[in-house]
Structure 1
Amino acid sequence: MRAQRAKTTILVCAGAALAAAGVSAPVSASSAPRTRPGAAVVDCAENPQVRPGTFMLACGDGNNVLTSLRWSRWQPQSAVAEGRDMVNDCRPYCAAGHFHSYRVRVRLDEPQHRPGHPGQWHYTRITLTYPADRPADTPRVVTTRLWN
């Protein structure tokens, strides 16, 4: 009984303080709106990026990078851009290869909590859609998981 009275007193005082400050508080935790902070895409150096102009897909060797990205949407559930996919043909081998540029649509989605970073969300899946030419042996639509 004493614990309940103390809890009630604290809640009443907190509510009065918020009212005095001109801020409204939700009646209960279950009535609070569930909002998700914006998600980011994590780059090769493990830095979160929002609306990056370039994004490395091949972190190990740098032979595939998205460039000239123009984001038309960046929302908590997904992000969409158009740009160029710069791909090294690695012929006769990657160090002697040539980069080729392809128009691409990019979609980031499936946001999840970022491990080890409380409160941060990151996209975990990327879909590339090639509306015209595309790299050899590459389907028109490619969907893959992003690293953490």
Structure 2
Amino acid sequence: MQLFRCTVAVSALALTAGCTASQAAPVQTAATTVMNCLSEPHVRPAHLAITCADANHFVTDITWEHWDADGARGTGIDDKNLCVPHCVGGRRQQEPIDLELSNPRAGVFTVVTIKLSGSRKQQSYSLPA
């Protein structure tokens, strides 16, 4: 089975997505995992989609500092479309963040909490289970 790395290009005229095959494959393990948008389990992914429907929000360049059955902690780059003036023509914002995976259910983390590096401001999001 191949994992597909998807990229999204946003322009004022259209939203297009393209996927390329990658050597990495979904993990077959008993470890606590996080699901990608295709409902494939992964341990310590380098990228994590926050909004699967439109790819307007994701985390890239993740480095995991801790990963066990109860939670995971790491750092990365929060990449989101600000949707101003609208999502098709919106400007993207990229910021360094700390992230935590939590609330494991049946071996799958179901919540990601994103905190701007050096800040107390944080936001939690539900993940596919």
Please say whether Structure 1 and Structure 2 have the same fold, judged by a TM-score greater than 0.5. yes
Counterpart Cα distance in 2 of 1:75 and 1:95: 38
- 1:147 is matched with 128
How far does residue 99 in structure 1 lie from its aligned partner after superposition? 1.1
CA RMSD of aligned residues (A): 1.6
Residue segments in structure 2 that go unaligned for 5+ positions in a row? 1-29
1:92 matched to 2:78? The reply is: no
Which structure would you say has the larger RCO, counting Cα contacts within 8 Å and 6 or more residues apart?
2
Moved over 6 A (4+): none
Aligned residues: 100
Which has the larger Rg? 1
TM-score, structure 1 normalization: 0.63
Residue segments in structure 1 that go unaligned for 5+ positions in a row? 1-36, 114-120, 134-138
Sequence identity, in percent?
Answer: 25
Higher strand share: 2
1:77 maps to a residue whose letter is: D
Q: How does 1:57-72 map to 2 (within 5 A)?
A: 57-72=50-65
Higher helix share: 1
CA contact under 8 A between 2:39 and 2:128: conserved in structure 1? no
Work out which of the residue numbers 114, 125, 131 in structure 1 matches 2:111: 125
